[in-house]
Amino acid sequence: MKKYFILIIVILAILVGSTPMYGANSQIIQLKNGWNLVGTTVPILNINTLIPMADIVWSYQNSTWSVASPNGFYTQAITNSGLNLLSSLEVGSGFWVNIKDDTNITLITTPFLDTNTSQIKDSNFSSEIILHKNSFLNDTQNWKVSYAGACSLSFSNAENNGSDGSLLVSSRVHAYDGAFLNITSMIEPNKLYVIRAYIKQMENSSDNYQLMAKILSPTPQYILLNRIKVDNAQWNKLRTFVSFTREQIDSGVEIYINSDTNKNDYYLDEIEITHSTFTPTLSDDSEKILIIKNANIVDTNNSTVRLKGINLVAYGDNEGNEASTFMNYTYYNYDKNDFKNIKSLGFNSVRLALWYKYFEDDSNPYNYKESGFEWLNTIIGWAKEAGILVVLDMHAPQGGGFQGPNNITPFWDNIEYHNRFIALWKEIALRYKNVDTVAAYDLINEPCAYNQAEYIALIKKTIDEIRTIDSKHIINVEEGFSQDMQPFILSEYTNILYDFHFYDPWSFTSNATTLYDENGVNDASVEELFSQYADFYNGHAFHVSEFGQMRANINTKNSDLWIKKVFNLLNEYGASYHYWNYKGNSFGLYDGKNTFSENSNVSNELKDIFLNNNENNF
């Protein structure tokens, strides 16, 4: 029976067929009523999400047929049959899909639509609020229900996320049923928007929820913007950056929210669309830029300023070779609320880890993407609004990305990578030379050249080129990781902040097997290791831009004592610092690089250490 069923599907599909159309980093699929045969040019992470209206989808992979029923009509039959369930597809895969109405589906590797024409005119930063919904008591009429109308919308005062009520989406017949809002009249072409919504399930269960955009005509196109896993009945945040073209806006744009498999009722609250109006090229706060004088960082009043902060990871070095791939997750892990949270912890700065592919494609070198700089403008704007300084850290440069101990990348084998590296820093300096929120340029993270002379030569050349454009900003120079590594001073240069990372002893901070104060790891040994670096820079401003502990060790290995000791040493030397890191799977204050502080696990022990040090010092 199974073979007969498959044979019928194959025959029907051959009779109908389809024609895929392709775009940069995306694939638009034209689907006709009936069976369609489709080939994929981009990976499909969740077939149910991207084709929610389909009755059934088949794919033949690894000598096996797999099947899915996105609209849920055949889900029980598939389960009873014992057939393999289809969930995702790799690039180059083919599938058969059956739908009832003609439609277009857009499969994309990123929700961000790159553009080189964006213009922002307001020189003073503000988060321009395009839409803010924190009450649905008298305003549910602008919302409508999704495909087939198989759910209902109503105001509820039973749940809220800081407002007086929420939008209840109930009586859902299908997982893809949810709430729509038309935003066509609210948005402008080629502007970078942040769309955010808080969501809470009525039942305590686990499922994926997604924020999607629907381009309305001539036939609907669906774009996945953000997707999160909700494990329980608590408020979670969906959020994305997105830009729309003139053609898309003229066609009509809606946003909607639904789930993968369950049909639980859910609440929506604090729905917001914002746009950053911060433009660094129009800002001239250069007189406020921090400088180094007499071995200290000082402000315009000659008052000493210590950079006391935490690292933000914003790069996807292992995400793949496509320039847009990082946007699948890396900038979903913090927003303007996180900068306010960082400020509340007593920090005054962040070190923002960058990837060169935000700004430049390998296939198009020296041509810089406005999309990446709009993203960076938004981050700097959030920081400015919260009173936080930003150290721009080139964490992953051209020619191989992240380096680090014993990791010599092709960056050091090709002079063209060096030329592009310098040119990109000149572009950054050109854009941010007047921006006082930018505290320093951290030229290259954990450089690992073949030898130290090669590294120093590159750094000098880079500084010289930056100084032709920006004479004021502090330049942060890190210690290298070549085999002949030694601390060094660039005596012919001024306004240099020297930098080393401290995770010593690494065997303890990365994977402690014994308690602190055992096997030679104690306050005295940590101080000896730290002083080897710090004493060398006596008489110069220096910065420990990374130090930290595996969060799992804080409770089990007394490693909080190591952290407190390092803070004591930093305070004793008056050094600037940035803890590694704010969000991360192993070292983070919050667990999980793709989560938000509102819906991720926090290390309260680490949080208390930060608060105690920043308020009182140890």
- Closest CA relative to residue 356, chosen from 392, 398, 384, 404: 398
CA 181 centroid distance within chain: 25
Per-residue pLDDT at 4 exceeds 50: no
Question: Do residues 529 and 503 both lie within one domain?
Answer: yes
- What the block records as the tokens of 180 is 């729509």
Instruction: Say if residue 505 is preceded by a cis peptide, omega within 30 of 0.
Output: yes
- Find out whether 577 and 530 touch, Cβ atoms under 8 Å: no
Question: What pLDDT digit, counting tens, does each position of 31-50 carry?
Answer: 777 888 887 665 565 565 55
Query: What average pLDDT score do residues 300-313 get?
Result: 95
| Total domains in the fold of the chain | 3
Question: What pLDDT digit, counting tens, does each position of 441-467 carry?
Answer: 999 999 999 999 999 999 999 999 999
Q: What is the DSSP letter of 147?
A: G
Instruction: Write down the mean pLDDT value for the chain.
Output: 81
Question: Do residues 428 and 543 both lie within one domain?
Answer: yes
Q: Which residues contact 581 (CB under 8 A, 6 or more apart)?
A: 310, 311, 312, 313, 548, 587, 588, 589
- Find out whether 21 and 193 touch, Cβ atoms under 8 Å: no
- What the block records as the tokens of 175 is 């997982």
- Closest CA relative to residue 377, chosen from 192, 237, 617: 192
Determine the Cα–Cα distance for residues 68 and 78; give it in Å rounded to an integer. Answer: 8
The share of the chain scoring above pLDDT 90, in percent, equals 40
Among 103-117, 129-143, 272-286, 567-581, which is the least confidently predicted range? 103-117
- What the block records as the tokens of 561 is 């004592």
> Which phi and psi angles does 471 have, rounded to 5°?
-95, -5
pLDDT of 71 = 61
Q: Supply the CATH number for residue 224's domain.
A: 2.60.120.260
- Find out whether 422 and 467 touch, Cβ atoms under 8 Å: no
- Find out whether 306 and 574 touch, Cβ atoms under 8 Å: yes
CA distances from residue 307 to 292, 545, 572 in whole angstroms, order as listed: 12, 10, 14
N-to-C CA span, the chain: 74
The reply to whether 119 falls in a domain is: no
Among 176-190, 328-342, 465-479, 567-581, which is the least confidently predicted range? 328-342
Question: Do residues 411 and 313 both lie within one domain?
Answer: yes
- Find out whether 401 and 355 touch, Cβ atoms under 8 Å: yes
Strands (E), 64-151: 64-68, 84-85, 94-99, 103-108, 127-133, 143-145
Question: What pLDDT digit, counting tens, does each position of 147-165 carry?
Answer: 556 788 888 888 888 777 8
Look-up: residue for tokens 């696990």? Answer: 601
Higher pLDDT pick, 325 / 268: 268
Strands 253-259 and 179-182: antiparallel
Q: The domain containing residue 143 runs over which residues?
A: 127-276
Per-residue pLDDT at 337 exceeds 80: yes
pLDDT of 322 = 45
pLDDT of 277 = 79
**Which 3 state secondary structure label does DSSP give 39?**
strand
Q: 88: pLDDT confidence band, cut at 50, 70 and 90?
A: low
> Which phi and psi angles does 365 have, rounded to 5°?
-65, 150
Per-residue pLDDT at 20 exceeds 50: no
Question: Do residues 441 and 487 both lie within one domain?
Answer: yes
Q: Which residues contact 3 (CB under 8 A, 6 or more apart)?
A: none
Question: Do residues 502 and 609 both lie within one domain?
Answer: yes
- What the block records as the tokens of 478 is 């890190």
- What the block records as the tokens of 229 is 């896993």
Per-residue pLDDT at 280 exceeds 80: yes
- What the block records as the tokens of 265 is 């009722």
pLDDT of 193 = 87
Domain boundary among 222, 256, 276: 276
pLDDT of 203 = 82
- Find out whether 577 and 544 touch, Cβ atoms under 8 Å: yes
pLDDT of 191 = 84
Strands (E), 202-321: 207-215, 221-230, 236-242, 253-259, 266-276, 291-293, 296-298, 308-313
Strands 179-182 and 143-145: antiparallel
Question: Do residues 100 and 179 both lie within one domain?
Answer: no
- Closest CA relative to residue 108, chosen from 191, 18, 23: 23
pLDDT of 417 = 97
Determine the Cα–Cα distance for residues 312 and 588; give it in Å rounded to an integer. Answer: 10
Q: 287: pLDDT confidence band, cut at 50, 70 and 90?
A: confident
Residues facing residue 222 across a β-bridge: 214
pLDDT of 262 = 81
Domain boundary among 276, 302, 327: 276
- Find out whether 484 and 451 touch, Cβ atoms under 8 Å: yes
Question: Do residues 360 and 269 both lie within one domain?
Answer: no
556, burial (CB in 10 Å: exposed 0-12, middle 13-18, buried 19+): exposed
The reply to whether 118 falls in a domain is: no
Determine the Cα–Cα distance for residues 492 and 489; give it in Å rounded to an integer. Answer: 9
Question: Do residues 268 and 408 both lie within one domain?
Answer: no
- What the block records as the tokens of 3 is 């073979």
DSSP assignment of 459-528: HHHHHHHHHTT-SSSEEEEEPP-STT------TT--SEEEEEEE--SHHHHTT--S-TTBTTBSHHHHHH
Strands 236-242 and 193-201: antiparallel
Among 187-196, 383-392, 449-458, which is the least confidently predicted range? 187-196
Determine the Cα–Cα distance for residues 437 and 493; give it in Å rounded to an integer. Answer: 23
Q: Supply the CATH number for residue 469's domain.
A: 3.20.20.80
Q: Which residues contact 466 (CB under 8 A, 6 or more apart)?
A: 425, 426, 429, 441, 473, 475
Per-residue pLDDT at 406 exceeds 50: yes
Per-residue pLDDT at 241 exceeds 80: yes
The reply to whether 469 falls in a domain is: yes
Q: 295: pLDDT confidence band, cut at 50, 70 and 90?
A: very high
CA 143 centroid distance within chain: 29
280, burial (CB in 10 Å: exposed 0-12, middle 13-18, buried 19+): buried
The reply to whether 91 falls in a domain is: yes
Determine the Cα–Cα distance for residues 205 and 218; give it in Å rounded to an integer. Answer: 38
Among 36-40, 119-123, 159-163, 478-482, which is the least confidently predicted range? 119-123
Question: Do residues 265 and 288 both lie within one domain?
Answer: no
Determine the Cα–Cα distance for residues 399 and 412; give it in Å rounded to an integer. Answer: 8
Higher pLDDT pick, 448 / 204: 448
The reply to whether 117 falls in a domain is: no
Question: Do residues 483 and 412 both lie within one domain?
Answer: yes
The reply to whether 298 falls in a domain is: yes
- Find out whether 60 and 10 touch, Cβ atoms under 8 Å: no
Question: What pLDDT digit, counting tens, does each position of 373-386 carry?
Answer: 988 998 999 999 99
Q: 437: pLDDT confidence band, cut at 50, 70 and 90?
A: very high
Per-residue pLDDT at 594 exceeds 60: no
Question: Do residues 255 and 315 both lie within one domain?
Answer: no
**Which 3 state secondary structure label does DSSP give 434?**
coil
Helix axes 370-386, 336-344, angle to 10 degrees: 40
Question: Do residues 104 and 132 both lie within one domain?
Answer: no
Domain boundary among 43, 75, 108: 108
Q: What does R_g of the chain's alpha carbons equal in angstroms? A: 26
- What the block records as the tokens of 407 is 């990791």
The reply to whether 268 falls in a domain is: yes
Look-up: residue for tokens 């269960």? Answer: 205
| Amino acid (one-letter) located at 314 | A
Among 70-84, 310-324, 579-593, which is the least confidently predicted range? 310-324
Determine the Cα–Cα distance for residues 181 and 210; give it in Å rounded to an integer. Answer: 14
> Which phi and psi angles does 235 have, rounded to 5°?
-75, 130
The reply to whether 381 falls in a domain is: yes
